[in-house]
Amino acid sequence: MATILERVAWEPSLIDPAPDRALEAYARRKWGMNNPALRYFAPVPWLARAVVDLHPEYGLLMHVSHRLAGLLALVVSQENSCRFCYAATRVMLWTQGLSLTRIQQLEHDLTRADLSPTTLAALAFARSQSRSGPPAAHEARDAIQRAGFSVESMKELAFVVGVTDFANRATTITAVPARGMERMPGRWHMRLLRPLVGRLVRSRLARGRPAPLDRVPAYPYAALVKAYEGSPIAPALGRALEQMWASPHLTRRCKLLMLAVVARGLGCDACVPEIGETLGSEGLSPAVVTQVLTHLDAPELDPVERLLVAFARETIWYEPAPLQRRARALRDHLSSEQVLEAIGVAALANGLCRMGAIVLDSR
């Protein structure tokens, strides 16, 4: 049964897959099965780990149900035209017992499907945040609270949407092959194994339990991590950010510039000041930062920064195939690890911004 995204143009993969046994074993321990996308992210360990560790349904959600999280991931992946994530989410829902007919029913018209008003409100929230992002955050936040979601539930919804935005971009920009995942529910052996796989997947799904934030983070988006204090999301997000900052393929300044460009492009008022302050401590004067954010370039930038500042902007609003081609062009100037890290940073920046706009909104 074809998915509705199968006609979205999709380039061949940018990165050669590099199977990593330790990483695959880690994913199997955590998820009950391996994710074929991980071998494409393996050369940059923080990115692969973040994809595994930030998956909301494995011990990170205390208030939002797994089923709702799955539907949110489906809607966001559809909005972002991410063929791989969309197909993977479909497979997850299918193995967990949702029939393909029911999934199709939901896909065809979510607004008119026989879902509860709160579920529809959550899906509308996910759609609005994927499409409009921070400028619509205040309105989306009000709507979700009117629908009866508590502040804690709302934060979890924002997390699910943000993390799906991150995973969508990571897999879309690297053009992880989607065909195998799209065809999976149609394969006879998968149909046969479905109850077993479903059981395995369900056995690993876990509700989140309160988890302390053992270290006070000291990096941009620390405020976002702190906002999740008490939830298992905080330490998981904190670790992913720490590992991203510690990764050696791109400089910290370059990563900060990419984060700043995405925040500016998305119009995230809550995110820009924190990043701007940190850029100051990296030796960039406010005038240079303003120049970069206003014109996406400055003489003070090094060649890698100049390339990636422009690239970060491309990841905000995009069509998959042209963005995949632009990312491929980076390979003429950067190593595979640098390209992959740049994709990871830009993807994470997009997710964090959408999360931050909801969670850090003080209006």
Residues that bind another protein (CB under 8 A): 1-2, 4-8, 81, 101, 104, 107-108, 111, 127, 131-132, 135, 264-267, 293-297, 299, 313, 316-317
> Which of 108, 331 has the CB closer to another protein?
108
- Contact status, residue 71 vs residue 106, Cβ threshold 8 Å: yes
> Which of 108, 215 has the CB closer to another protein?
108
Q: How many whole angstroms separate alpha carbon 22 and alpha carbon 30? A: 12
Going from the C-alpha of 316 to that of each of 58, 160, 222, 291, 309, the distances in angstroms are 27, 18, 22, 19, 12
> Which of 101, 203 has the CB closer to another protein?
101
Q: Shortest distance, CB of residue 50 to another protein, whole angstroms?
A: 26
> Which of 77, 231 has the CB closer to another protein?
77
Q: Shortest distance, CB of residue 16 to another protein, whole angstroms?
A: 29
Q: How many whole angstroms separate alpha carbon 231 and alpha carbon 246? A: 24
Q: Shortest distance, CB of residue 134 to another protein, whole angstroms?
A: 9
> Which of 5, 23 has the CB closer to another protein?
5
DSSP label at residue 58: B
Q: How many whole angstroms separate alpha carbon 264 and alpha carbon 357? A: 12
Q: Shortest distance, CB of residue 132 to another protein, whole angstroms?
A: 6
Q: Shortest distance, CB of residue 68 to another protein, whole angstroms?
A: 21
Q: How many whole angstroms separate alpha carbon 136 and alpha carbon 125? A: 10
Q: Shortest distance, CB of residue 5 to another protein, whole angstroms?
A: 7
- Contact status, residue 95 vs residue 194, Cβ threshold 8 Å: yes
DSSP label at residue 228: T
Q: How many whole angstroms separate alpha carbon 218 and alpha carbon 15? A: 32
> Which of 317, 335 has the CB closer to another protein?
317
Those residues whose C-beta lies under 8 Å from the C-beta of residue 311, and which sit 6 or more positions away, are: 258, 326, 327, 330, 342, 346
> Which of 17, 267 has the CB closer to another protein?
267
Q: How many whole angstroms separate alpha carbon 335 and alpha carbon 324? A: 16
Q: How many whole angstroms separate alpha carbon 229 and alpha carbon 209? A: 12
Q: Shortest distance, CB of residue 127 to another protein, whole angstroms?
A: 7
Q: Which helix (H) or strand (E) holds 121?
A: helix 117-131
Q: Shortest distance, CB of residue 153 to another protein, whole angstroms?
A: 24
> Which of 179, 215 has the CB closer to another protein?
179
For the chain, count helices (H), then strands (E). 19, 0
Q: Which helix (H) or strand (E) holds 51?
A: helix 45-53
